[in-house]
Structure 1
Amino acid sequence: MQFTVYAAIGALIGFFSGLLGIGGGAVQTPLTVLAFEAHGLPREHIAHIAVGTGVASIAFTAAASTLAHHRHGAVDWFLLGRLTPGLLAGGFAGGYVAQLLPTAWLAIVLAVFIGYASAAMVFELRPAPHRGLPGAAGLAALGTAVGMMSTMVGAGGAVLLVPALTWFNVPFRRAIGTGAAIGLPIAFTGTIAHVLGGLGEPGLPEGAVGYVWLPALVPFVIASMLLAPAGARLSHRVPARTLRRVFAGTMFLLAIRMAWSLARG
């Protein structure tokens, strides 16, 4: 039963990763926390294990989703190369900062940003037509911010990067494909940070490698990698306008979930 629950969460995340490029952490983390509580994991470690295991699973989900988008020519590899140094630095730093600081303030900022970005997509607020991508330094700074915030809240980064890229007039499907691909460097460094941060921590459940819990990671990975290509195929078959609205609606629900979590304390 526990394997089935984790596989169902992984399937949901994999499908939306392929469809919208969203790595899934903003959805996966709260679902995983509930599942871990039902499973009886130590309460003092549940949050860190949920984030660490979610970040680790993103690497596999992103690989499957990226390959599917690449086959449709929707991954901007040059842009990804410019973002990667910042993603690596920010992802590694965020994995440690998440263990030292309360993340309520970050969740507030993230919820406000997601709410604004989703509203802009629903009402089709257009960026200035002359606006293009920033230079190398600007892209490195953008990558650092996305990498750090993503790893701190256990998200894949696309929920932050896709709205930013569309603001710079990157075509929406290319923004989704590139957003899916950034999960790879973020998850790589974030996983290392969560593993190292939890090594030697007393009271971790059996099967834990640092803050990554393998009994949940395995079904997450299997199910998400199976469903990610299906979501990616669908994203290239629906009209771009519909896809934008689905993405915006999903982001808006994430913002509400974050606000509700904060209101409950």
Structure 2
Amino acid sequence: MTSLFLAITPESLLLFLLLGSLVGLVAGLFGVGGGLVIVPALIWGLPLIDVSPVHVAHIAVGSSLATIVITSISSTRAHHKRGAVDWRDFWKLTPGLLIGAWLGSIVAGMLSGDLLQTLFGMFAIIVGLRMFRRGKARGSRLHVTSWIMLLVATLIGGISAIVGIGGGSMTVPFLHATGVEMKRAVATSCACGLPIALSGAISFVVVGWGVEGLPPFSSGYVYWPVVLIIIITSSLFAPAGAALAHRLPERELKVVFALFLILVGTKLLLG
């Protein structure tokens, strides 16, 4: 285990420890997956350990998806204990999420690192702008056919895998728009993050397998030292974020996070 982290300098280790802590706090505070924080931080942090610029964006996305596999299991268990997960919707969405994430990862593997970074920057800005809107739920459940569920889920899975997120920023609004109560939509979205992240992470391993110039202890585009550090620290700090969420005003928190995403997205677009 010790040799696993030898390639990481003390400075970058501190950065990744802080990143994992921030991911946990953000997940607890805003109820979103950490991909929107992990990917840009890794894009800026991986060069500190001499990762080739050609591979930085792909490793950032692949490693982000690998961490979400674990964090989504943890958050889903917590929501399931409260009976908040709508498993019927989960199983309807899962086939499309798996297919979409697999296809999205293949597409991402064919894109240049610069284009992948640009796509993430655009996505972060869009999510940030949408957070300023106040969502309104329908009065009753809207009947959505299986084919529409499959199509929407495939799109969500594909986009999520390309930018390295669990899909909550798209799954929650979709479920909420069909009449699912917000807390139940968030809980179900956490469960939906697992098939997206699992399919996407495995695909990034396969797509990156045998690629030259990847750092030691990588499986394709998944860099395990960073994944383990983020998983450990984020799991420790997520409860603190959840506790803060109950003490601080929700609207103001969302505005701050929205501004953060817009700034991050703009910085990535500007290079």
TM-score (norm 1): 0.85
Q: CA offsets per residue over residues 63-102 of structure 1, 9 Å max, x none? A: 1111112222221111111110011000111111112133
Q: CA offsets per residue over residues 199-226 of structure 1, 9 Å max, x none? A: 1111111111111111111111112233
Residue in structure 2 matching 1:160, options 148, 156, 170: 170
Q: Which runs of 5+ in 2 are unaligned?
A: 1-9
Partner of 1:259: 266
Q: Secondary structure at the match of 2:136?
A: coil
What is the rounded CA distance, in whole Å, between the counterparts of 1:144 and 1:58 in structure 2? 18
The verdict on how the C-alpha distance between 1:18 and 1:182 changes in structure 2, with shifts beyond 3 A counting, is: farther
Identity %: 35
What is the rounded CA distance, in whole Å, between the counterparts of 1:189 and 1:37 in structure 2? 27
Q: Deviating runs (4+, > 6 A) in structure 1?
A: none
Residue in structure 2 matching 1:13, options 18, 23, 30: 23
Residue in structure 2 matching 1:73, options 66, 83, 88: 83
Code of the aligned partner of 2:74: A
Cα RMSD for the two superposed structures: 2.6
Structure 1 residue 182 displacement after superposition = 1.4
Contact persistence 1:25–1:156 (CA under 8 A): yes
Q: Is 1:186 aligned with 2:199?
A: no
Alignment of 1:1-265 (within 5 A): 1=10, 2-101=12-111, 102-103=115-116, 106-107=119-120, 110-111=123-124, 113-121=126-134, 126-130=136-140, 132=142, 134-231=144-241, 237=246, 242-243=249-250, 246-247=253-254, 249-251=256-258, 253-262=260-269, 264-265=270-271
The verdict on how the C-alpha distance between 1:53 and 1:158 changes in structure 2, with shifts beyond 3 A counting, is: same
TM-score (norm 2): 0.84
Q: CA offsets per residue over residues 209-255 of structure 1, 9 Å max, x none? A: 111111111111112233335545666x569xx54664465345324
What is the rounded CA distance, in whole Å, between the counterparts of 1:73 and 1:247 in structure 2? 25
What is the rounded CA distance, in whole Å, between the counterparts of 1:248 and 1:166 in structure 2? 20
Report how many aligned residue pairs link the two structures: 258
Code of the aligned partner of 1:261: L
Which has the larger displacement, 201-210 or 6-15? 6-15
Q: Secondary structure at the match of 2:131?
A: helix
Q: Secondary structure at the match of 1:27?
A: helix
What is the rounded CA distance, in whole Å, between the counterparts of 2:143 and 2:22 in structure 1? 32
Structure 1 residue 48 displacement after superposition = 0.9
Structure 1 residue 113 displacement after superposition = 4.3
Q: Secondary structure at the match of 1:182?
A: helix
Which has the larger displacement, 252-261 or 91-100? 252-261
What is the rounded CA distance, in whole Å, between the counterparts of 1:251 and 1:133 in structure 2? 31
Q: CA offsets per residue over residues 10-56 of structure 1, 9 Å max, x none? A: 22223333443322112111111222112222222111111111111
